[in-house]
């Protein structure tokens, strides 16, 4: 059976392992921060595109209506694209 606190004890007692652990931790935190920022920027871009698509346009003096289903579909596609889900 593995000791659940074994790694914590090793981090506390072994300076070389502590340095390695902290370096890995910092790298993971930085990776997650970059991923979150990339997603946030993608979501902002998708929202801007959606606003542009939903903005009423005039054609020959008449407003063009955008069906709600189209707006929802565009939102789903934009969200998937922002997440990088191959859309």
Sequence spans of domains, the chain: 6-83
Mean of per-residue pLDDT scores for the chain: 81
pLDDT for residue 32 is more than 90: yes
Q: For residue 46, how many other CB atoms are within 10 A of its CB? A: 19
pLDDT for residue 69 is more than 90: no
Q: Residues 47-55: contacts with CB within 8 Å, 24+ apart? A: 47/78, 49/74, 49/78, 50/74, 50/75, 50/78
pLDDT for residue 56 is more than 60: yes
Total-model pTM: 0.54
């Amino acid at each position: 059976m593995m000791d659940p606190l074994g790694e914590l004890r090793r981090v506390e007692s072994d300076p070389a392992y502590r340095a390695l652990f902290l370096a890995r931790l910092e790298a993971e935190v930085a990776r997650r921060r970059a991923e979150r920022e990339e997603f946030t920027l993608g979501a902002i871009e998708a929202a801007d595109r959606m606003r542009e698509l939903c903005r009423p346009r005039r054609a020959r003096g008449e407003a063009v209506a955008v069906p709600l289903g189209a707006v929802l579909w565009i939102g789903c596609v934009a969200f998937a694209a922002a997440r990088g889900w191959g859309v």
